[in-house]
Amino acid sequence: MAKIHVLDEHIANQIAAGEVVERPASVVKELVENAIDAGSTRIEVSVEEGGLQSIRVKDNGSGIEPEDCETAFYRHATSKIASGRDLFLITSLGFRGEALASIAAVSKLTLLTASEDDGKGRVLDIEGGRLIRNEDAACGKGSDLSVRELFYNTPARLKYMKSIQTELGHISDAMYRMALAHPDISFTLQHNSNQLLHTLGNGDLLQVIAAVYGTSAAKAMLPVSAEDPDFRISGYISRPEWTRSNRNAVTTLVGGRYVRSNGLNAAIMRAYHTLLPINRYPLLVLKLEMHPSLVDVNVHPAKLEVRFSKEPELYGFVEQQLRSLLMGQSLIPRPTKEI
Ligand code: ADP
Ligand code: MG
DSSP string over 169-217: HHHHHHHHHHHHH-TTSEEEEEETTEEEEE---SS-HHHHHHHHH-HHH
Judged against a pLDDT cut of 70, whether residue 315 lies above it is answered with: yes
CA distance 337 to 37: 31
Q: Transcribe 156-172 into DSSP letters.
A: HHHTT---HHHHHHHHH
Question: What 3-state DSSP class applies to 227?
Answer: strand
- Residue 186: beta bridge partners? 42
Would you state the pLDDT for residue 243? 92
Contact 322, 224 (CB under 8 A): yes
Average pLDDT over residues 155-163: 89
CA distance 337 to 206: 9
Q: Is 252 in the pocket of ligand 1 (CB under 6 A)?
A: no
Q: Is 61 in the pocket of ligand 1 (CB under 6 A)?
A: yes
Give, rounded to a whole angstrom, the gap between the first and last alpha carbons of the chain. 73
> Which tens digit of pLDDT belongs to each residue from 70-120?
999 998 888 888 887 777 676 778 777 889 999 999 999 999 999 999 989
Would you state the pLDDT for residue 214? 96
Give the number of the ligand closest to the Cα of residue 57: 1
CA distance 278 to 275: 9
Q: pLDDT band at residue 324, thresholds of 50, 70 and 90?
A: very high
Judged against a pLDDT cut of 70, whether residue 245 lies above it is answered with: yes
Q: Which atom of ligand 1 is nearest to the CA of 97?
A: 8
Q: Which atom of ligand 1 is nearest to the CA of 61?
A: 24
State which of 34, 146, 185 you would mutate to test the pocket of ligand 1, scoring each by most atoms of that ligand within 8 A of its C-beta.
Answer: 34
Judged against a pLDDT cut of 70, whether residue 186 lies above it is answered with: yes
CA distance 98 to 255: 20
- Give the percent of the chain with pLDDT over 70: 94
Would you state the pLDDT for residue 298? 66
DSSP for residue 8: P
Average pLDDT over residues 302-315: 84
DSSP for residue 296: E
Q: Is 13 in the pocket of ligand 1 (CB under 6 A)?
A: no
Q: Is 303 in the pocket of ligand 1 (CB under 6 A)?
A: no
Average pLDDT over residues 150-174: 93
Q: Is 100 in the pocket of ligand 1 (CB under 6 A)?
A: yes
Q: pLDDT band at residue 246, thresholds of 50, 70 and 90?
A: confident
Q: Is 141 in the pocket of ligand 1 (CB under 6 A)?
A: no
pTM reported for the whole predicted model? 0.91
All residues at 6 or more sequence positions from 29 whose CB lies less than 8 Å from its CB, including other chains = 174, 178, 302
> Which tens digit of pLDDT belongs to each residue from 266-282?
999 999 999 999 999 99
Judged against a pLDDT cut of 80, whether residue 332 lies above it is answered with: no
DSSP for residue 267: H
CA distance 98 to 74: 8
Average pLDDT over residues 257-269: 92
Average pLDDT over residues 176-184: 97
> Which tens digit of pLDDT belongs to each residue from 192-225?
989 999 999 999 999 999 999 999 999 999 999 9
Judged against a pLDDT cut of 80, whether residue 338 lies above it is answered with: no
Would you state the pLDDT for residue 59? 98
CA distance 138 to 123: 9
> Which tens digit of pLDDT belongs to each residue from 282-307?
999 999 999 888 887 766 656 677 88
Contacts by residues 266-272 (CB-CB < 8 Å, ≥ 24 positions apart): 266/315, 267/315, 267/316, 267/318, 267/319, 267/322, 268/318, 268/319, 268/322, 270/319, 270/323, 271/318, 271/319, 271/320, 271/321, 271/322, 271/323, 271/326, 272/240, 272/322, 272/326
CA distance 103 to 20: 8
Average pLDDT over residues 22-34: 96
CA distance 322 to 100: 39
Q: pLDDT band at residue 330, thresholds of 50, 70 and 90?
A: low
